[in-house]
Amino acid sequence: MTDVGLPLVVMTHASPPSVHARLEQQCRVVTINKDENIVPRQKFLEAIKGAHALFLNPYSRVDAEVLDTAGPQLKVIATCSVGLEHIDLKECERRGVKVGYTPNVLDKAVAELAVALTLATARRLEEAFQSVRDGVWGTLWENCLWMCGKQVSGSVVGIVGLGRIGFETAKRLAAFEPSKILYCGNTPKAYADTIRADFVSFHELLETSDFVVATCSINDSTRGLFDKEAFKRMKADAIFINVSRGALVNQDDLYEALSSNQIGAAGLDVTTPEPLPPNHRLLKLRNCVVSPHLGSATVRTRAAMCDVCVENIFAGLNGKDLPSPVPSAFK
Ligand SMILES: O=C(O)C(=O)CO
């Protein structure tokens, strides 16, 4: 049987075999890049010509050029992410191309990573592992403050943006018995009462928290939120964690704050750019830990995200409403 009459789905990345198999029941599937994280732009443009659906990772920018290149038969774009800043949503809407994304299914995985990064940064785990490899473990207890870090219990935890991911993160950190949980954002949230979190201003949160955890989404009002001014307001031993987007942070200001010990340490799962070049000056700092944007990177969560994408693609190709559409408020 020939599959030439089937709609063409172009995927930017490899996915679990079961996801492929489901798509192949109804579509022709082309995977652009099976090995590398980020598809080079030219390769992406070449591959999408004639596509009816795009199945994207969040590193593939969709703009007018992409939509022109794909052609007018393009019906649906399914991004395997909750972040949408790589897609020109207005341009898609203008052309009648539906866009679906993957909220909800990744909240818990990102929250677990936020907790892991918080603990790894607070307990200096990267330095600690390295000290064992370097054979300097022997100094332990010659100085009882050797390799000492901070603990969450008894500390003030501040969550910037108590949305779905922020709430899941706060719930998990609550189990460590912080003295207080604070949060800030546009409006107080009723569900914050279940973890006894207090709504405060951004400035009060910065000035009071021992741990400042950024989980808010990126938009015009949060871009560059963590700048020189913000770091100046934080406590001298504050720990800053970012699992949202690198663009929330002015990285030069963060570097200054960390290298001058204006704040204690930072744990970043997101940076600008991504990947962060291995010789970047942030990576030379003892008090900065960086993971390679692993928030949703568990086998189960990635499979769930891919499943949502498949459902969005099938619905879009069949002219139906997407089960997980981008809300019109985001456009
Ligand atoms: O889905 C996204 O946008 C993420 O960044 C998850 O880590």
The answer to whether residues 239 and 268 touch, using CB atoms and an 8 Å cutoff, is: no
Evaluate if residue 2 carries a pLDDT over 60.
no
| Number of residues assigned to the chain | 331
* Active-site annotation holds for 20: no
Report pLDDT for 139: 63
**DSSP sequence for 288-306:** EEE--S-TT-SHHHHHHHH
CA of 213 to the centre of ligand 1 (A): 16
Per-residue pLDDT tens over the stretch 99-108 = 999 999 999 9
Per-residue pLDDT tens over the stretch 203-228 = 999 999 999 999 999 999 999 999 99
Nearest-angstrom CA–CA distance, 40 and 45: 9
296 lines ligand 1 (CB under 6 A): yes
β-strand pairing of 239-242 with 288-290:
unpaired
ipTM: 0.93
CA of 255 to the centre of ligand 1 (A): 24
Residue nearest to atom 2 of ligand 1 (CA): 81
250 lines ligand 1 (CB under 6 A): no
Evaluate if residue 161 carries a pLDDT over 50.
yes
Look at 8-17, 116-125, 248-257, 268-277 and tell me which has the smallest mean pLDDT.
Answer: 8-17
Nearest-angstrom CA–CA distance, 187 and 122: 29
Task: Count Cα atoms within 13 angstroms, Cβ side, for 162.
Answer: 31
Evaluate if residue 193 carries a pLDDT over 50.
yes
Enumerate residues 6+ apart whose C-beta is below 8 A from 139: 146
103 lines ligand 1 (CB under 6 A): no
Token pair of 236, please?
């001298």
Nearest-angstrom CA–CA distance, 186 and 184: 7
Enumerate residues 6+ apart whose C-beta is below 8 A from 61: 41, 86, 87
Q: Of all atoms in ligand 1, which is nearest to the CA of residue 245?
A: 5
Report pLDDT for 36: 63
215 lines ligand 1 (CB under 6 A): no
Nearest-angstrom CA–CA distance, 237 and 203: 17
Report pLDDT for 1: 39
Mean pLDDT across the chain: 95
Residue nearest to atom 3 of ligand 1 (CA): 83
Q: What is the percentage of the chain residues whose pLDDT exceeds 90?
A: 89
308 lines ligand 1 (CB under 6 A): no
83 lines ligand 1 (CB under 6 A): yes
Nearest-angstrom CA–CA distance, 242 and 256: 17
Report pLDDT for 38: 77
Q: Of all atoms in ligand 1, which is nearest to the CA of residue 83?
A: 3
Enumerate residues 6+ apart whose C-beta is below 8 A from 281: 255
Evaluate if residue 65 carries a pLDDT over 80.
yes
Catalytic residue among 13, 20, 52, 293: 293
Q: How confident is the model at residue 167 (pLDDT cuts 50, 70, 90)?
A: very high
CA of 37 to the centre of ligand 1 (A): 14
Q: How confident is the model at residue 143 (pLDDT cuts 50, 70, 90)?
A: confident
Per-residue pLDDT tens over the stretch 45-55 = 999 999 999 99
The answer to whether residues 313 and 9 touch, using CB atoms and an 8 Å cutoff, is: yes
